[in-house]
Structure 1
Amino acid sequence: MASSLTKDAAAQATPANGGKTFFGHPRGLATLFMTEMWERFSFYGMRALLVLYLVAPASKGGLAFAAATGAAIYSVYNATVYLLAMPGGWIADRLWGPRKTVAVAGTIIMIGHFLLAVPFEASFFVGLVFIAVGSGLLKANISTMVGHLYPDRNDPRRDGAFTIFYMGINLGAFAAPLVIGTVGQSVNWHLGFALAGVGMALGLGQFLLGTRHLAEESSVVPAPLRAEERTALLKKASLWSGAAVVFYAIVVATGSFTINWALWPLSLAGLALPAWYFVKIRRDKDITADEKSKVTGYIWFFIAAAVFWMIYDQSGSTLTVFASDNTASKLFGFNFPSSWFQSLNPLYIMALAPFVAMLWIKLRDRNPSTTVKFAYGLIGIGASFGVMMLAQAAAAGGAKVTPLWLAMVYLVQTVAELCLSPVGLSVTTKLAPAKYAGQMMGLWFLAVTAGDCTAAIIQLVAGNAFLSEASFAIQGAVAVLAGVAVVIWRKRIINLMGDVH
């Protein structure tokens, strides 16, 4: 990607800038932008192929899982990525610092993608574990380093920097299905996964070459573990790891192991962990009554977000299966692989995000409250599955429906996302107790985990009926009703939020 570099060292006020800027920002932003763009390229490219490869018959080089099982594997994998973002932030804070953590994360992700490129089932699932762990380590910390480039938190360029960084995410996500999806579906699955590994290698190389442009703070471990803490941690980690190894060794030895032995425990853990964390925060005697009230208010937003992500993240599972099995891969005389549908959301985001941001500014005093924006997001995401219900009805009897159905679904979901996701990040920082300021952002990611785990449970219980009109109707109705509930009880939620609006 072309970048705009100009001589403007004096205006940066950053330690390691090399005398150049990136769109008027510190040169380190270019390093982080390109690293994140290539990491997202690898992540979304692999994701575009994941369910298609899992459910493809063995005669076509796939793993021949049932559609519901393949979708559940995808949902649990995606949930695990966000689940591991919280310990990823902890590792940077207590052990390695953000810069080292991201370097290690990039290496782990790259290895994971190349393991997927090896044509063995065991290697494939080990590779998924590597990618999930690496993505969890990288996710929060690379964003943290963007903030480090601006020592003055009131620097007017700070918000613009995150906007540019966000564009890198969407550029990578847009290009990945077009490149990796095409190669994986049209040439060879494993070659597609290898291309994802090459993408991560490019991102890692960019990061290592550009570290001299990053802020020194990115190398600092903010709260290093004391020796006794490190020892206690190793003991606990060894105990739990050993117990898991022994348990699964017994399951395997008795011939009882199936993929469900991994999917069910992870799905239930993804629901139990955020519940436990909320109880822990609410019972903490160090937080004030006002902070407890705000946490109670935040639970409403968390549950709403979990319902939202339950549907939204099925773009890579349920909608991908529908695209492959029930949607024509030809439009206006042009043929394309079904994985290309995965490029619609980032394309819509890049096209619509500036207009939505300007709309909120233009409304000013009439700008909807946080609760109302959440309601818009929930009703919108529910409506998208209403459209899917109609699309599934149109596909009855094995008919291939026009790609315009999915194009409409992704458009509705993107508008809903723009109403809820940025607002969710903002309200999380505003309602967080002082003691849990950093950890609450990790808790926001757990809303994605909870939503994806709920989707996995639905897919496991419903079987292939998860693609039925009734499934789309029920899930869509739940989201719409959740949005209506937020509107009805918005005054109560606002009262719990105290001085936050």
Structure 2
Amino acid sequence: MTATVLANQKKLFGHPVGLYILFLTEMWERFSYYGMRAILVLYLVAETASDNPGLGWANDSAIALYGWYTMFVYVASIPGGIIADKILGQRKSVFVGGLLLVAGHSVLAIEQMWAFYLGLILIVMGVGMLKPNISTMVGGLYPKNQQNKRDMGFYIFYMGINLGAAAAALIVGYVGENIGWHYGFGLAGIGMGVGQLTYWWGQKYLKHVGNLVIDDRDDENAKESKNLFSAIFKHTNSIIGFSITVALGLAIWFLGGSWSYGLLVIALAFAVGVGVVVYNDGNKVEKDRILVTYLSFLIIIIFWGAFEQAGGLLNVYAAQKTDLSLGSFMVPASWFQSVNAIFILVFATIVGSFWVWWKNRGKESSSLFKMAIGVIIMGWGFFFMSVASKEVGYDAAGEVIQKSGMQWLVLAYLFHTLGELCASPVALSFITKLAPERWMAFMMGAYFAATGLGNKVAGLLGESASEFGEFAIFTGIAVFCTIFGLLVLAVLKPLKRLTHEAENLEGKDEQQEGFELADPKLND
């Protein structure tokens, strides 16, 4: 697709109308996801004999399931990205994902255990198809020579995500806790249905973006992308990456005594192998850019491994160890899941404007720099939780007799939000700048898979709180994130060299030699 096609898009407030269709679709998808997330752990740990009965699980078991679920939700983005790149295209993949999500959330409204697990499986499949591809489509709305406009487009898109998340935690959270858990799950499904209808209605504004990209290179140059899984075993570096990961999985299984984590790592060996195949498929510049993208995934895993304590450990902490009374009104614990999203709506424009001001002063403003700063700021939020954990008092039997104030949770979420605004929107935009067009959905899927692994790390840390104590976990996260962010800043210059000025392209056409859209009517 040439830059002319993109330049002729109908605009609203300086951005393509398609951006607002994707904004609304993602807003409702996130309403459904975060609404369900806000009450999932609370439903699992709720007493079975209460007025609003849950499953009565132990805290560590509930957080463990939450970690597995949120990890698989995002790891499913890898096959979702491959399906989009090779079979359906991004636009059709988003539609299929939306249908799966409507079905999954609707099934969760049924009060049966088979429906509970089936609903989670359908949601995993649906997010895997929708999440990486809708984000990639946002980047596809802008020509390559409009990097700043693209970044701002992602900030707008990101506000849609958090508008849905804020409303979900307040509305679904209240309904789930006070009326019935399954009514909350059903309400999340209704939200996804509205999002699906919005996306269907807005197709006329999206026909030129997210279509299947055909690789027109000759067979010799395109051979790596023909059969991804067989290509793993045709090159030394992909075989080595695959074998090392499999060996690690076997060691975890037989030496570490955990078959579940062992199987997970063995399954991820295929993702590692495909990642190396994608790297081999590029030219010199593409290989460098793919490499720095893969390295940025480590930042993402660390960031979300800490940040996603919000849905697990911090959610349980709010319900069980925080004084939730405001006079005679008891604040629902799930409402704290909206604090981050509300802060994003308040501070997104401020943070975005700050980085523009910062760049205009000639200061370092690369995406990698912002991501490192985001990790550090987010980590500092856990120092407030360290203080909160010291306020909690216990009796001789270990029962809580004194709870901490709500202000510590609010302050923690404030710093988490500022860190997220520095790291997450620019990470999405960063990938669309560096990834080859033919692998765009896969690379975005790999990004969300890294997010999923971060979610699993969050679950592991949350589980360990019962063994090591909240103070040790909160303080350890804060210190580790600070040190890690500083290390990224120390190696920033060599990492930036690998991008080959991808963030400073000027006046270049978006079309990449050797590729065209599957629908010839959409080409100039």
Aligned to 1:424: 427
Aligned to 1:472: 474
SS in 2 for 1:58: coil
Residue 287 in structure 1 maps to residue 301 in structure 2? no
Distance change (3 Å), C-alpha of 1:92 and 1:275: closer
5 Å-filtered alignment, 1:371-382, equals 371-382=368-379
Alpha-carbon distance in structure 1 between the residues aligned to 2:496 and 2:205: 43
Counterpart among 186, 189, 198 of residue 194 in structure 1: 186
| Contact 1:178–1:340 (Cα < 8 Å) also in 2 | yes
Aligned-pair distance for 1:483? 1.6
Letter in 1 for 2:325: K
Aligned-pair distance for 1:140? 2.4
Aligned to 2:106: 114
SS in 2 for 1:59: coil
Counterpart among 297, 312, 319 of residue 317 in structure 1: 312
Aligned to 1:240: none
Render the CA deviation track for 1:191-239: whole Å, top value 9, x for unaligned.
1101111111122223333434432555x43349xxxx9x98999xxxx
SS in 2 for 1:118: coil
Residue 367 in structure 1 maps to residue 363 in structure 2? yes
Aligned-pair distance for 1:157? 6.8
Aligned to 1:83: 75
Aligned-pair distance for 1:320? 0.3
Alpha-carbon distance in structure 2 between the residues aligned to 1:272 and 1:458: 23
Alpha-carbon distance in structure 2 between the residues aligned to 1:25 and 1:366: 26
| Contact 2:465–2:473 (Cα < 8 Å) also in 1 | no
Aligned to 2:341: 346
Count residues with an aligned counterpart: 457
SS in 1 for 2:213: coil
Render the CA deviation track for 1:377-403: whole Å, top value 9, x for unaligned.
222222222221221121232222111
Aligned to 1:442: 445
Alpha-carbon distance in structure 2 between the residues aligned to 1:492 and 1:24: 35
| Contact 1:12–1:25 (Cα < 8 Å) also in 2 | no
Alpha-carbon distance in structure 1 between the residues aligned to 2:129 and 2:59: 30
Distance change (3 Å), C-alpha of 1:418 and 1:358: same
Aligned-pair distance for 1:26? 5.2
Aligned-pair distance for 1:113? 0.9
Residue 395 in structure 1 maps to residue 385 in structure 2? no
| Contact 2:85–2:439 (Cα < 8 Å) also in 1 | no
SS in 1 for 2:370: helix
| Contact 2:213–2:438 (Cα < 8 Å) also in 1 | no
Larger RCO: 1 or 2 (CA < 8 Å, sep 6+): 2
Distance change (3 Å), C-alpha of 1:177 and 1:214: same
Aligned to 2:251: none
Distance change (3 Å), C-alpha of 1:314 and 1:266: farther
Aligned-pair distance for 1:88? 1.6
Render the CA deviation track for 1:242-280: whole Å, top value 9, x for unaligned.
xxxxxxxxxxxxxxxxxx989635753686566545544
Distance change (3 Å), C-alpha of 1:159 and 1:472: closer
Alpha-carbon distance in structure 2 between the residues aligned to 1:28 and 1:431: 22
Counterpart among 222, 227, 237 of residue 213 in structure 2: 222
| Contact 2:151–2:429 (Cα < 8 Å) also in 1 | no
Distance change (3 Å), C-alpha of 1:49 and 1:435: same
| Contact 2:78–2:442 (Cα < 8 Å) also in 1 | yes
| Contact 1:44–1:176 (Cα < 8 Å) also in 2 | yes
Structure 2 residue runs of 5 or longer lacking an equivalent are: 1-5, 216-223, 231-256, 395-399, 504-524
Render the CA deviation track for 1:55-102: whole Å, top value 9, x for unaligned.
212223212222122112112212222212232232233333334322
Alpha-carbon distance in structure 1 between the residues aligned to 2:443 and 2:118: 30
5 Å-filtered alignment, 1:100-139, equals 100-139=92-131
Distance change (3 Å), C-alpha of 1:160 and 1:430: closer
| Contact 2:80–2:445 (Cα < 8 Å) also in 1 | no
SS in 1 for 2:364: coil
Indicate the larger mover: 377-386 or 119-128. Answer: 377-386
Counterpart among 405, 408, 420 of residue 405 in structure 1: 408
Aligned to 1:256: none
Counterpart among 36, 39, 49 of residue 46 in structure 1: 36
Aligned-pair distance for 1:159? 5.5
* TM-score normalised by structure 2 residue count: 0.76
Aligned to 2:483: 481
Distance change (3 Å), C-alpha of 1:466 and 1:266: farther
Alpha-carbon distance in structure 1 between the residues aligned to 2:14 and 2:57: 50
Residue 328 in structure 1 maps to residue 323 in structure 2? yes
Aligned Cα RMSD in Å?
A: 3.7
Render the CA deviation track for 1:168-192: whole Å, top value 9, x for unaligned.
2221111011110001001111111
5 Å-filtered alignment, 1:230-245, equals none
Structure 1 residue runs of 5 or longer lacking an equivalent are: 1-10, 236-259
Indicate the larger mover: 386-395 or 360-369. Answer: 360-369
| Contact 1:180–1:196 (Cα < 8 Å) also in 2 | yes
